[in-house]
Amino acid sequence: MEKRKTRKTYVVGHKNPDTDSICSAIAYANLKRQITGEEYVAKRAGELNSETEYVLERFGVESPGYLNDVHLQVKDMDIRQIEGIMGHVSIKEAWSIMKEMNIKTMPITRNSQLEGLITIGDIATSYMEVYDSRILATARTQYRNIVNTLDGTIISGNEHGYFLNGKVVIAASSPELMENFIEKDDLVILGNRYESQLCAIEMDASCLVICQGSEISKTIKKLAAERDIVVISTPHDTFTAARLINQSIPVKYFMSKENLETFRLNDYVEDVKEVMAKKKYRDFPVIDKKGRFYGFISRRRLMGSRKKQVILVDHNEKSQAVDGIEEAEILEIIDHHRLGSMETIGPVFFRNQPVGCTATIIYQMYQENGIQVDKTTAGLLCSAIISDTLLFRSPTCTMVDQAAAEALAQIAGIDMETYAGQMFNAGSNLRGKNAEEICFQDFKVFNANGIAFGVGQITSMNQDELDEVRERMEPYLNEARNMQRLDMVFFMLTNILEESTELMCCGDGARARMLEAYELPEDTGHILLKGVVSRKKQLIPTLVSYLQQK
């Protein structure tokens, strides 16, 4: 009855996804599925910008689902999935099921909702520590349970009825003495003596259990039927019947139902460990998002937690990766940036090439594996290259990028010049966005020589729009710096047509450091960097190199 889930691998870019990050994740997940036949799912680690939304809509592709973190969760553990039993099931039947499945805890469910738990210890208690002769009635035991527990046969009466009053007695004495201890509604265990059976009926017992398969006279059957007395025939002797009968009690009577310690599938393993350390239970029930019982986890199974499998595209910096990446199993990294701070537990497939766009590498991998690029995927990959290279204007662009984009544009059936203008206009449309949304739609964090700094970038073909953004961003940058707990924040206003960037600076010494890094005079007004359009290849290397020398 145990089931194991198919392993899923997430393909995801950085926290502030651009068009390359999203399109490369989608295309690479598609490639991996075709190569392996296994489940690879493209995800995003942040909100999409306007340009990427335009690209996905243009090619009719749904946005990847949001992956907020890859911390280990209960759903990543080896969960033992078990079907629960109903509360009316007898102790004997529950024991038989648990023995067959080799489990120590059984869930009691109703309509898939967890009602309680019965353990081996609870069953032992029901057998060893119960001395109440009225417990079958107290537990509202169904006659059908008694019949099954005693391997018996119903001779008369309604097996679906319940034993609600009276006690269990053994009629081993003469009828004269029986009259002194048999009361109305009792359940009487007796043998083949006609006189004893008749006495029990006359004393208005509610149930007769006739042992050793003894023949029951027509008179007894008739009298029992007239008085609605249940008659059960069992092949067991009186001693065995008396020993077994408590096992007919429904499990709901002994189950634990108060203050159950349960976990949800999305609970984090770290939190689960803390609870398990304080509780001495063997098994802990897991509830799914609809409140239904899902299965059990245990301390032993905690050790078998399976890390989330992740492929990173378009980044290899821990600060840019989805939260909890240190707990994930990184299988591959496909990137075109400088080597960052990412650490892995074991060796991984790491492909990093000095090209202008990750999508270029993905396209090469399609070719290397002999997989034909379909029209939609070609459109996504071409869009990513156009975006990352600013239609080949960026200094990061290589001949390999341009050749890949031209081949992909032909497959996708797009004119790159016309399409690029539409895409960039969609991306630079900032109407309805507040300063925070503009700042973080393309924002990355870096560290150099103990200094943490962030760099955001907006690209536009319209200088008036960039001037408007400057006015909105100036009062906000310090708030952004405090929010991200950074030493410095820089914001690039990049004019694609003029191939230049106006740089905004925030933080103690930020402006002075940038002026010195680019060897600009101290009385410079707006910092205008001619020919600088690439954060990755032009701004970051210059600033990092300067900071590392100080």
Question: Which residues of the chain fall below pLDDT 50?
Answer: 1-4
- Closest by CA position to 495, among listed 524, 459, 525, 542: 459
CA distance 209 to 154: 10
Per the structure block, which two tokens stand in for 3?
């089931």
Instruction: Kindly give the residue spans of alpha helices, DSSP state H, lying in 227-313.
Output: 238-244, 251-254, 269-278, 299-302
Cβ neighbors of 175 (< 8 A, separation 6 or more) are 195, 196, 198, 199
Residue 100, SS3? helix
Give just the sign of the alpha carbon dihedral 102, 107, 109, 113: negative
211 contacts 236 by C-beta, under 8 angstroms: yes
pLDDT at residue 28 in the model: 98
Tell me how crowded residue 436 is: count the other CB atoms within 10 A of its CB.
12
CA 115 to chain centre: 24
Q: Of 114, 98, 111, 123, whose CA–CA distance to 251 is shortest? A: 123
435-549 has which CATH code?
3.10.310.20
Which pLDDT belongs to residue 3? 44
> CB-based burial of residue 184 (10 Å sphere; 0-12 exposed, 13-18 middle, 19+ buried)?
exposed
**What's the token pair of residue 326?**
């240190």
Answer CATH for 8-72+308-427 from 3.90.1640.10, 3.40.50.2300, 2.40.30.10, 3.40.50.10490: 3.90.1640.10
Strands (E), 250-380: 263-264, 283-287, 293-298, 309-313, 329-335, 349-352
179: enclosing H helix or E strand: helix 175-181
DSSP string for 47-60: PPPHHHHHHHHHTT
Distance, in Å, from the CA atom of 342 to the CA atom of 346, rounded to the nearest integer, reads 12
Q: Note the pTM of the prediction, 2 decimals.
A: 0.66
Kindly list the domain boundaries of the chain, sorted by start residue: 8-72+308-427, 91-253, 435-549
**Contact yes or no for 254/91 (Cβ under 8 A):** yes
Task: Give the pLDDT score at 378.
Answer: 97
| CB 93 within 8 Å of CB 106 | no
Stated length of the chain = 550
Predicted pLDDT at 303:
66
Residue 174 is predicted with a pLDDT of 75
Domain 91-253 falls in which CATH fold?
A: 3.40.1390
Place of tokens 């924040």: 489
Instruction: Show the DSSP H helices in 16-131 as ranges.
Output: 19-36, 50-58, 91-101, 120-128
For the residues of 408-474, what is the DSSP string, one character each? HHHHHT--HHHHHHHHHHHHT--TT--HHHHHHTTEEEEEETTEEEEEEEEEES-HHHHHHHHHHHT
Q: What is the pLDDT of residue 2?
A: 43
| Topology match between the domains 91-253 and 435-549 | no
